[in-house]
Chain A
Amino acid sequence: MKRKNLVIKLIVRNHPGVMARITGLFSRRAFNLEGILCGVIGDGTHSKMYLLVNNDDRLEQIIKQIQKLYDVLEVAILENYNEEAFSHIGEDETDIIPERHLRKVN
């Protein structure tokens, strides 16, 4: 069965504006973005991003638009991703960072 979502893996140039560039593309073109995991890799010049997106007929456009971005160096699709990584947001015990570890500031 075709899964509802899939993950796009990106290697991007790491700089303060790169996250805005990727998420801005999604909002500007009205693409859905269900989740993001992102972190610096290697010597700090690059970052790895995992984007959780709907597996629908807009996927071809999403991929093509992402590929056009100068800051994007690699694009790959993962259909069999680890759902755990994205699915526990909002569930305290299994969340990546459980609520009880947080110090509330408001």
Chain B
Amino acid sequence: MKLSGAEITIKLLEQFGIDTISGIPGGANLPLYSALANSSIRHILARHEQGAGFIAQGMARTTGKTAVCMATSGPGVTNLITAIADAKLDSVPLIAITGQIAYSMVGSDAFQEIDTYGLTLGITKHNFLVRSAAELLTVIPEAFYIAESGRPGPVLIDIPKDVQKEMIEINHWPIKRAVVNDMKIENETIQKAIEMIKASERPVLYVGGGIISSDASESLKTFAANQQIPVASTLMGLGAFPSDDPLSLGIMGMHGAKYTNLAFYESDLIIAAGVRFDDRAVGNANEFCKHAKIIHIDIDPSEINKVKQATLCVEGDARDALDQITQTIGERDRSEWLARVAELREAHPLYEGISGMPYHPVNFIKKVAAAANKDAIICTDVGQHQMWVAQNYPILKPRTLLTSGGLGTMGFGLPAAIGAALSNPDKQIILFTGDGSILMNLQELATMRDFELNIKIIIMNNGHLGLVRQLQELFYDKTYIATEFISNPDFTMIAKGFGIESFDYDSGQSDIEQLKTALSSKGGCVINVPTEIGELVLPVVTPGEGNHIMIGA
């Protein structure tokens, strides 16, 4: 059977279980699109390639499976770059397939030519520039394997147009390489970990996105419950451990509750699992848990000892490690330590919001949580609203909070919510965004409308780049520059222009009923919520200090 490079590519994607691709066609990927026309794969036409990238991320983040996006050469690629970099920093399995001008023309500065390979070297787990149709038979299976194995991440496949059109004879199709965990953890290492945990009086679990990637949530719950160890989470780890569990300390670090950071400060052992000691989580690394020993479990060996020297390195899958420890360690009573943590919680609680202030962001977010389905998927953009959600929205299950953690990309929310809705048609999708963030990928309201997706967009509208303004207020002598918008559009009118229901939230009415009705209605809705600019995300770690030194707590 003779097939073109483009047909081989699409056929392999079908064989590997891809049912939806987001993207935008253009001159250099038209052969791929022609092949897509004859395929069972559903195509989601985004309105900007960055939107396409984040739509794919929304699918990947909610399902844990590799998702695919496509773009043409030149501006298609440069537009996609932010979404790829975002996937790299948050370890999301993503495959970006980009069209390139014909390989015979590469280097001639042809129309829409860009050095895609060079531009994406540093923001992908791996990238390929394919030079023949035959290469696709190895490159595509390898791309899936790389994206999914070990620590997941984005892979880019750049396919020149002449390679897409090249016809070759196909007799055998490659099969998908099964992802197996070949990083066996030595029994000796597990024994050492067990000894350290047994010897510890005041341990804290520090968990992150690696728990979610490795499906270790249940293992974590069992381990924490048996050993009575409190669990603090990074932003990426939210959902790994239910926030309503008595052992949960919520998020740690820059905007964690002070009691959470103090628990770390007083602890004698940090069990760090699926985390990378990111500066937003640990603050000044030299000051972080100075007196504690550290067990660092991660599947990516380069994360261990990168920022903070570990007392014990456990290179391997987090679930595997936790299960092995649980098997032999038995149960433990730590009521003394838990009582101390409770004391800290009592003395330094998370800011709870002021009752009777319906527009207060903390109160409002809790109201939304009360009105929403328990299994709703929550998406955020980046800014104050994101931190308030991370602090206050009860996230109970893995893969139910989608947020741009590492790259902190404003504009992430709407397209990620679209991807989540496409992969989870039965779920309620709630996007918390700001008036700054929503405008960064607003065009995707059209994509949302195309598929009448069940997404409720809550714009916490304070007319500012609120989190940046907050930094100016606290750390730049209240020198406010470029953080107040001169004008702000009428978001309800914009939404209506896209054919999407919308209203201004009015706390004067019986607001919880109004929210319930809006959230449970079928289809999309944009809710504009006036928000006070004076409200800050608190507490916050003083810049350069250890996490225990905080403002506003």
Q: Contact: B302 with A68, CB < 8 Å? A: yes
Q: What is the total number of residues of chain A having a CB less than 8 Å from a CB of chain B? A: 15
Which of A20, A65, A68, A71 has the most chain B CB within a 10 Å cutoff? A68
Q: Contact: B121 with A60, CB < 8 Å? A: no
- Chain A residue numbers with a CB within 8 Å of B306 are 61, 64
- Chain B residue numbers with a CB within 8 Å of A61 are 302, 305-306
Q: Which of A17, A60, A68 contacts B129 (CB 8 A)?
A: A17
B126 lies within 8 A of chain A by Cβ: yes
A88 lies within 8 A of chain B by Cβ: no
- Chain A residue numbers with a CB within 8 Å of B129 are 16-17
The CA of A6 and the CA of B43, in the complex, are separated in Å by 52
**Known A17-B129, A61-B306; contact A67-B121, beta-carbon cutoff 8 A:** no
Q: Contact: A65 with B121, CB < 8 Å? A: no
Q: Contact: A64 with B301, CB < 8 Å? A: yes
Q: Contact: B118 with A60, CB < 8 Å? A: no
Q: Contact: B126 with A20, CB < 8 Å? A: no
User: How many interface contacts (CB-CB < 8 Å) are there between A and B?
Assistant: 30
Which of A16, A17, A71 has the most chain B CB within a 10 Å cutoff? A17
- Chain A residue numbers with a CB within 8 Å of B142 are 70
Mask, A48-90, CB within 8 Å of B = 1, is: 0000000000001100110111110000000000000000000
- Cβ < 8 Å to A, chain B residues 509-530: none
The CA of A17 and the CA of B158, in the complex, are separated in Å by 12
B300 lies within 8 A of chain A by Cβ: yes
Q: Contact: A21 with B121, CB < 8 Å? A: yes
B117 lies within 8 A of chain A by Cβ: yes
B122 lies within 8 A of chain A by Cβ: yes
Q: Contact: A28 with B122, CB < 8 Å? A: yes
- Chain B residue numbers with a CB within 8 Å of A35 are none
B146 lies within 8 A of chain A by Cβ: yes
Interface of chain A, main secondary structure: helix
The CA of A69 and the CA of B126, in the complex, are separated in Å by 8
Mask, B90-130, CB within 8 Å of A = 1, is: 00000000000000000000000000011001100110010
**Known A70-B126, A70-B146; contact A65-B302, beta-carbon cutoff 8 A:** yes
**Known A17-B129, A70-B146; contact A24-B305, beta-carbon cutoff 8 A:** no
Distance in Å: Cβ of B132 to nearest Cβ of chain A: 12
Mask, B297-308, CB within 8 Å of A = 1, is: 000111001100
- Chain A residue numbers with a CB within 8 Å of B301 are 64, 67
- Chain B residue numbers with a CB within 8 Å of A70 are 125-126, 142, 146
- Chain B residue numbers with a CB within 8 Å of A16 are 129
The CA of A28 and the CA of B122, in the complex, are separated in Å by 7
- Chain A residue numbers with a CB within 8 Å of B305 are 60-61
- Chain B residue numbers with a CB within 8 Å of A24 are 121-122
**Known A17-B129, A24-B122, A28-B122; contact A64-B117, beta-carbon cutoff 8 A:** no
The CA of A65 and the CA of B301, in the complex, are separated in Å by 9
Q: Contact: A64 with B121, CB < 8 Å? A: no
The CA of A17 and the CA of B306, in the complex, are separated in Å by 27
Chain B residue with the shortest CB-CB distance to A68: B302
The CA of A67 and the CA of B303, in the complex, are separated in Å by 13
Q: Contact: A68 with B300, CB < 8 Å? A: yes
Q: Contact: A64 with B302, CB < 8 Å? A: yes
Which of B122, B302, B305, B306 has the most chain A CB within a 10 Å cutoff? B302
Chain A residue with the shortest CB-CB distance to B302: A64
- Chain B residue numbers with a CB within 8 Å of A28 are 122
- Cβ < 8 Å to B, chain A residues 3-19: 16-17
The CA of A68 and the CA of B301, in the complex, are separated in Å by 9
> What are 29 A-B contacts defined by CB distance under 8 Å?
A16-B129, A17-B117, A17-B118, A17-B121, A17-B129, A20-B117, A20-B118, A20-B121, A24-B121, A24-B122, A28-B122, A60-B305, A61-B302, A61-B305, A61-B306, A64-B301, A64-B302, A64-B306, A65-B302, A67-B301, A67-B302, A68-B300, A68-B302, A69-B126, A70-B125, A70-B126, A70-B142, A70-B146, A71-B126
Residues on B facing A (Cβ under 8 Å): 117-118, 121-122, 125-126, 129, 142, 146, 300-302, 305-306
Given contacts A17-B117, A20-B121, A70-B146, 13 further A-B contacts (CB under 8 A): A16-B129, A17-B121, A17-B129, A20-B118, A21-B121, A24-B121, A24-B122, A60-B305, A61-B305, A64-B301, A64-B302, A64-B306, A70-B142
